[in-house]
Amino acid sequence: MKKTKTQIFTKMLLGISIPVVLTFIVSGVIISNRVGESMKAQAAKTLDATSLAAANQVDSFLSYYLAEMKSAAASQQAEEFLASSKGNMKLTDSEYYPGMKTTLDKIQATDKDNILASWIADIDLSQATMSDGYTTEPGWDILTRPWFRATQTDQPILTEPYVDTNTGQIVITAACAVYESGTGKPLGVVGIDIQLSQLSTIMSSYKTEASGSLILTTDSGLIVYHKNPDMIQKNISEIDISQNVKEAFASQTAGSFDYTMDKVEYSTLSMV
């Protein structure tokens, strides 16, 4: 079954470790092969439902920040602030800076537990100013920032997770381009840096069997959540999981699979 719903984090792997030989032990009782097949089918249904519920909650969590950035980028204030930049001036010298700084502070204050900082970057000046008061020097390299690709679309975007150099936490950036009215010229980008500890809380709230596991990754396969912290920030292609899962991931094929992980054969794994 091909995927029909695009998730922000599109791959949710949720596996209950039932040995492929179909011997399933519960409270010391050995389940027969015939009953094992029934248990396997039921496990697949349970996994599909749990995977989808978790994916939807992750979607809701991140969609809030994307909507905030789209609204901020569409504001007259952001456009006026960026359009006022000239020559080699600093962003903080703009007559519109005090109002813009207040807005950045308010955005960050809406969710202090998860938003590390809000900011706005100017393309012409190659500068960014942040809610914490820090402003980059003129000539700051804006073009190679992962969030700069927001200028290629009229929709907000999410970056791949990365380690924040100041806090050591894994974060992502939600960003949206600010365009000049009438011309459609990109003036800059507004964004927020979001720590991902809340995602771990969300994912860990979904319970599986004692031998179950849950993996949350980005579109590119970067692992964002795993019960083993050492796996976070690795790519799904790098871990010891069977090729059929890697191929299904690459082709964005949803469904349930028998699989091998860490050289042990299991069933079942659900991917949505």
- If you write DSSP's letter for every residue of 117-157 in order, what string do you get? EEEEEETTTTEEEETTS-BPPTT---TTSGGGGGGG-SS-E
* Percent of the chain with pLDDT strictly greater than 90: 39
Q: How confident is the model at residue 226 (pLDDT cuts 50, 70, 90)?
A: confident
Q: How far apart are CA 51 and CA 64, in angstroms?
A: 20
Q: pLDDT at position 120, please? A: 97
Select the highest-mean-pLDDT range: 47-61, 81-95, 163-177: 81-95
pLDDT of residue 212: 62
**Confidence class for position 205, pLDDT limits 50, 70, 90:** confident
Average pLDDT score over residue span 248-261: 76
Task: Give 240-245's long-range contacts (Cβ < 8 A, gap of 24+).
Answer: 245/13, 245/269, 245/271
- H helices of the chain, in order, are 33-73, 76-83, 97-109, 197-204, 243-250
pLDDT value at residue 22: 29
> What integer is the mean pLDDT of 18-40?
40
**123, 110 Cβ separation under 8 angstroms:** no
Higher pLDDT, 249 or 235: 235
Phi and psi of 119, rounded to 5°?
-160, 165
Q: What is the pLDDT confidence band of residue 37, given thresholds at 50, 70 and 90?
A: low
3-class state of residue 68 by DSSP: helix
| Range picked from 55-59, 145-149, 219-223 for highest mean pLDDT | 145-149
Q: What is the pLDDT of residue 269?
A: 63
Distance of alpha carbon 32 from the chain centroid: 41
What pLDDT was estimated at residue 213?
67
pLDDT of residue 27 exceeding 90, the answer is no
Q: In this structure, what is the dihedral angle of CA atoms 157, 162, 166, 167, given to the nearest 10 degrees?
A: 100
Residues 6+ apart with CB under 8 A from 67: 156
User: How far apart (Å, rounded) are the C-alpha atoms in residues 84 and 65?
Assistant: 27
Residue 227 vs residue 110, higher pLDDT: 110
More confident residue, 205 or 127: 127
Please state, for a pLDDT cut of 70, what percent of the chain lies above it: 77
* pTM, 2 dp: 0.80
pLDDT band of residue 115 (cuts 50, 70, 90) is very high
- H/E stretch holding 267: strand 264-271
Question: Tens digit of pLDDT for each residue in 38-70?
Answer: 666 666 677 777 777 888 888 889 999 999 999
Q: What is the pLDDT of residue 250?
A: 82
Most confident of 12-21, 24-33, 41-50, 237-246: 237-246
Rounded Cα distance between 93 and 101, Å, is 12
Instruction: Answer positive or negative: Cα dihedral of 224, 228, 230, 235.
Output: negative
Q: Residue 159: is its pLDDT beyond 70?
A: yes
